Structure 1
Amino acid sequence: MSQAALTISSKNYSSWSLRGWLLCRMAGLDFAEVLVELDDEARQELLLLSPSVLVPRLTHDDVTVWDTLAIAEYLHEVVPDAGLWPTERAARARCRSVSGEMHSGFHNLRSALPMNLKARHASFKIFSGARPDVERVKAIWTECLEASGGPWLFGAAPTVADAMYAPVCTRFRTYAVELEPRLAAYVEAVLSWPLMGEWTEGALVEPDEIVELEVEF
């Protein structure tokens, strides 16, 4: 497979960068990381690189893909045997549905519990507007794990859904969100995933301060 490039931002703060990176690694893609620091000049660069002003941005074989779910679908086309989506039709439909729900929703959760891999709170008061999002995530995980048997959302191996919800697992740990044992075990499985360990190692050596944008990145 041809060398590709994945443009990402902060490994500590950028949940969308993490999702795209996980998908590329799960697909076995040979890619170079292109890190964009989010200062004012870099924001202008992102405007040129990605029409949505968001990372990640994948380039491969003269193809440019800048939306996370579009990246997932592109990788599925390029590497159909990678198992990014479940093989069974009903499970695949559910996987696409819960992945799409994360892609387009949970705005209050993202605002109230921003991703920060370096931070840990012994307790954290979640504002009322974000609580329905937290409960919806719990419901999705419970339904998926009960249907598949775990340990991943759709069975024995991670899929696009696990990549989409991995940043939520880090948020729940950072902000001490209480979980029933089965969901806590799922979070632990995600956070113990060697790919997550590799990403986290990169996050821990980053500077602590970044310039914030008006969009989640």
Structure 2
Amino acid sequence: MSGPLRLIELRPSPNNIKVRLGLRLKGCEFETIPVALDDAERAEVLRLSGQPLTPVLLDGDLPVWDSAAILRHLDTIAPHEPIFFGRTRERIHEVERWERWARGVVYDTFTIVPGMAFRGAFDPAEVERANAEMRRHTARIEEALADRDYLLGDAPTAADLTLVPMVFSTMLTEEQAAASRIAAFLRQHFHLGEERDRTRAWVERLMAHWH
């Protein structure tokens, strides 16, 4: 590694969970620089990385931002298993297909319920739509996990790390929901549902590395 690692993170957000999981799974030591949920200016993030979004990984003096770029950076500086994007062209393309689906289709579904919480507006029809769409998404995940622990085999990839934080938001415990009004709203209105045993075990397997 080229320098000490520091993670600038907004801890509850999916992309920040994704990167923290990546660091933990790689066995990287890192320090954290927390960003508050209500820190609209993001002055410290701007100062350190030149842009306002989290997460940002500081590798020595080098800022790396965008969660997918950070996972690729981790594959470069810690080139041991698990490899998040693969060692062959075919494997990389397979991971990226899942990642595009997660960052596009699934993310659009995920944002419906917390979006209502941020706006302070409750729409039962939109909640029903979000839960129905997530049921369809997790059906695909459940099928992929039929004969394996992770989406593409025996080790987690960027596909798993991109999807799991969003699915995790449908499984919050009472203790986790107490962390914020957004988490409480998710626990009340966004649910994984029944017949998702493999998906539930997959989430628990990965999220055990979060803290």
Q: TM-score, normalised by structure 1?
A: 0.70
Hey, what's the Cα distance between the residues in 1 that align with 2:202 and 2:143? 17
Shift of 1:18: 0.5
Hey, what's the Cα distance between the residues in 1 that align with 2:167 and 2:113? 11
Shift of 1:184: 2.4
Change (3 A) 1:51 1:99: farther
Hey, what's the Cα distance between the residues in 2 that align with 1:51 and 1:138? 36
| CA shift digits 1:84-115 (9 cap, x unpaired) | 23456534322121113222443442223439
Shift of 1:19: 0.6
2:130 corresponds to which letter in structure 1?
A
Hey, what's the Cα distance between the residues in 2 that align with 1:179 and 1:52? 41
Query: Aligned pair 1:99/2:99, yes or no?
Result: yes
1:81 corresponds to which letter in structure 2?
H
Shift of 1:14: 1.7
Change (3 A) 1:94 1:113: farther
1:178 corresponds to which letter in structure 2?
G
Aligned to 1:4: 5
C-alpha RMSD of the superposition: 3.0
Q: TM-score, normalised by structure 2?
A: 0.71
Give the % identical residues.
25
Q: Structure 2 residue aligned with 1:177, among 192, 204, 208?
A: 192
Hey, what's the Cα distance between the residues in 1 that align with 2:44 and 2:103? 24
Aligned to 2:175: none
Change (3 A) 1:136 1:47: farther
Aligned to 2:210: 199
Structure 1 stretches of 4+ with a deviation exceeding 6 A read none
1:189 corresponds to which letter in structure 2?
W
| CA shift digits 1:130-170 (9 cap, x unpaired) | 35642452254145335xx2111111122211111121231
Change (3 A) 1:198 1:156: closer
Q: Structure 1: where are the runs of 5+ without partners?
A: 116-123, 201-217
Secondary structure, aligned partner of 1:166: helix
Larger mean CA deviation between 171-180 and 13-22 belongs to 171-180
Greater relative contact order, per chain length (Cα 8 Å cut-off, separation 6+): 1
| Count of aligned pairs | 184
2:166 corresponds to which letter in structure 1?
V
1:14 corresponds to which letter in structure 2?
S
Indicate conservation of the 8 Å contact 1:7/1:58, yes or no. Answer: yes
| CA shift digits 1:159-184 (9 cap, x unpaired) | 2111111212312213322243xx42
Aligned to 2:42: 43
Secondary structure, aligned partner of 2:33: strand
Change (3 A) 1:179 1:93: farther
Aligned to 2:16: 17
2:55 corresponds to which letter in structure 1?
P
Indicate conservation of the 8 Å contact 2:149/2:202, yes or no. Answer: yes
1:47-58 to 2 correspondence within 5 Å?
A: 47-58=46-57
Indicate conservation of the 8 Å contact 2:151/2:160, yes or no. Answer: yes
Aligned to 1:186: 199
Aligned to 1:215: none
